[in-house]
Chain A
Amino acid sequence: MYIEANGRQIEAKPGEMVLDALNRAGVKVPTLCHMAGLFPSGACRMCVVEIEGMNGLVPSCAFPVQEGMKIKTHSPRAIRARKTIVELLLSDHPDDCLYCVRNKNCQLQDLSEELGVRQRRYTGAKSECNIDTSSPSIVRDPAKCILCGKCVRVCEEIQGVSAIDFAKRGSKAHIATAFDMGLNVSSCINCGQCIMVCPTGALRETSNIKEVMDAIHDPNKFVVVQHAPSISVTVGEEFGLKPGTDSVGIMTAALRRLGFDRVFDTSFSADLTIMEEAAELVHRIKNDGVLPMFTSCSPGWIKFVEQFYPEFIPNLSTCKSPQEMLGAIVKSYFAEREGFDPKQIFSVSIMPCTAKKFEAERPEMGRHGIADLDAVLTTRELARIIKMRGLDLNDMQPQPTDTPFGERSSAGKLFGVSGGVMEAAIRTAHYMITGDEMDEMQVKDLRGLNGIKESTIKVAGIELNVAAVSGLGNARQMLDDIRAGKKQIHFMEVMTCPGGCIAGGGQPVGARLDAIKARMKSLYEIDRDSLLVTSYNNKYIKKLYDEFLEKPLGHRSHELLHTHYAQRDVLM
């Protein structure tokens, strides 16, 4: 079917909304509350268009196409309406752009500039708001909130958490947790997906830049940094590189220039995680342990289980996440080897994730009063400190990672995408059970951006039902099905963020679906072209076991690499 947009015929699919047809044809209409794939809420009215034969302006995101309809997206009336909306929003908005984390990356700012807002037409008292800095992961600044409702929807409809909702009404309306309490005591699982959809600076990560910079400039500190598997394929976007570009070498160089004393790759400890986790799986299978086993590397998911599904706590793998494993190894094995007092070491990780900040603060993540990690930065914060130092990734010459954790398998690298941990674990579990390599390393069923992926793997006559789930709304569905006996699963990977870490809550804001696909493709290509695709063949991992850990699930591993969980009583 066809419709006409600005005098041009474009194709439309019956039942779809006008906005979708326009977007597909490359006609740009601004939106503030629209969320691809979710039911339109029609809250912001930015997307209004004129339709011939209709009196009022129509919100294109919530209006279905009709054969032959004639649309004007930028009629003077439509533009005037949009401009008025922006002017009204600005009338209760702090003019804080220069001080704002979203300066130059803000949809409200962009619209105000696009629509040529040049004067304060509406003035009035601005709402009084308190900034909520209670959470180790997320800062909420309601003064900059335009009440588009996207954070509420992502939290409820994608993550199945519902930590926040609209409260009060009229000029007092705001986004709130239950009883307007701090986010830290709410059911928030720190995923940061609300930050990713927020059009303004109302939501941001809790910044740890200052602690890191202070440590770098402290002559008594030895500062080590690790970067998560997904960072090398996303940070480049902040420097104008094509989405998916693997910038591991130039990022390593930039980290050294920033003054970090050692640069490690979390993909190395992802290999270590796989050794422990695969061994744990095999142990559970052979000894009638609790199944299904769930992966434990995504801290939002862990808190989700602890508060919403405590009966599944025994199903969580006891493995710490890769960042914590490397943190623990750095302050033990590495410190010993290099002759450092662990207290002298300041350990930083660069993560795609805001929940990792929360994880690093969990009291279980350390020994003898020394935390495994001292600070966690998001990809965005990394880009900020690189820019702050006047550096640019584009000017760097690639450099290698530091020893003794110098090499990683591409299995470890796959941790960055949903399904990757599962794939990596299967490769090693297969070897541990059979003593043989798998014929086909790639598990196609577990690849791609679907929220629930399932497969059956045959290992030495055993059929293992595995699943890779991302987005906690999907995890909720799986847990309910498992509880009801509708699904027989042996091993399930869960990533809190839809698509996995490549789309984590700490990644560059504003990435579109094609960018996320490019990041995923890049990780798959790294695996395809790699000479080392299995964790158990990583010689540095072998060496670490030979020299220090002895064997997976051994005494030292239990002390350093495994943890426990507990039910959390939060207001849900």
Chain B
Amino acid sequence: MNETIETILSKYPNAKRDALIPILQDVQEVEGHLSVEAVAHIGKYLNLPASKIYGVATFYNQFRFETLGKYHIQICRGTACHVKGSAKLLDAFKRELKIEAGRTTRDGMFSLEVVACIGACGLAPVISVNGEVHAGVVPDKVKSILKMYREKDANNE
């Protein structure tokens, strides 16, 4: 894991603080999230305290600090979806999974993320689960969608 970070950091020789965001993006791209180890490593490299890196990273919605769930649920908050009630949909997922957006359930099964327009406005409100798009998802459907993935998981393994 340190090697991955090393490889990324090697692309930023003599980096200063302004390289922080691109580095964080690269790390998240490869590892799926920003781990404590990664932040410690980046901190040493840029001579930045971990608290500061965490502060910067949490300022933006794009960074996550936990590994993705087995099933990563992305909820579209683009305009069309918003108009069709995606806020209520997000609430329903939060309630069902008992996690906030950006977090992963304890059993590691699901993670939740709010994303800007997926580009499927005609099907609003849409969600994508591991890249699989579900159209016209109303809050009532949340339970059955989650159940479906749980069953899928149980059968596959």
Contact = CB atoms under 8 A, between A and B. Distances in A.
Interface string A153-181: 00010000011111111000000111110
Contacts of A186: 51
Interface in A164-219: 164-169, 176-180, 186-187
Nearest to B55: A165
A311 to B, nearest CB: 15
Contacts, number: 52
Interface residues of A, number: 18
A571 interface: yes
Contact of A167 (B40, B43, B58): B58
Contacts of B36: 178-179, 571
B52 interface: yes
Nearest to A178: B50
A73 B50 CA distance: 40
Contacts of A162: 49, 51-52
B124 interface: no
Interface of B: 36, 39-40, 43, 49-55, 58-59, 65
A192 B16 CA distance: 31
A163 B65 CA distance: 18
A169 B59 CA distance: 6
A302 B50 CA distance: 21
Interface of B, helix, strand, loop or mixed by DSSP: helix
B52 A179 contact: no
Contacts of B55: 165-167, 176
Contacts of A165: 49, 51-52, 54-55
A242 B51 CA distance: 40
Interface of A, helix, strand, loop or mixed by DSSP: mixed
A374 to B, nearest CB: 33
B58 A572 contact: no
Contacts of A163: 49, 51
A167 B49 contact: no
A168 B58 contact: yes
Contacts of A156: 49
Contact of B54 (A169, A179, A187, A572): A179
A177 B59 contact: no
Contacts of B65: 179
A162 to B, nearest CB: 4
A164 B54 CA distance: 10
B59 A176 contact: no
Contacts of A178: 36, 39, 49-51, 53-54
B48 to A, nearest CB: 9
Contacts of A164: 51
- Residue of B36, B51, B53, B65 most packed against chain A (CB within 10 A): B51
- Residue of A156, A165, A180, A187 most packed against chain B (CB within 10 A): A165
Nearest to A162: B49
Nearest to A168: B58
B43 A572 contact: yes
10 contacts: A156-B49, A165-B49, A167-B58, A168-B59, A176-B55, A178-B53, A180-B54, A571-B36, A572-B40, A572-B43
Nearest to A161: B49
A572 B50 contact: yes
Given A163-B51, A572-B49, 13 more contacts: A162-B49, A162-B51, A163-B49, A165-B51, A168-B59, A178-B36, A178-B39, A178-B49, A178-B54, A179-B39, A179-B50, A571-B39, A572-B43
Contacts of B59: 167-169
Contacts of B49: 156, 162-163, 165, 178, 187, 572
A90 B52 CA distance: 28
A163 B50 CA distance: 8
- Residue of A165, A167, A178 most packed against chain B (CB within 10 A): A178
A176 B54 contact: yes
A162 B54 CA distance: 12
Contacts of B43: 572
Contacts of B54: 165, 167, 176-180
A448 B116 CA distance: 58
Interface in A387-446: none
Contacts of A176: 51, 54-55, 58
Contacts of B40: 571-572
A179 B34 CA distance: 10
A179 B63 CA distance: 12
Contacts of B39: 178-179, 571
- Residue of A163, A179, A180 most packed against chain B (CB within 10 A): A179
Contacts of A572: 40, 43, 49-50
Interface string A328-361: 0000000000000000000000000000000000
A565 to B, nearest CB: 22
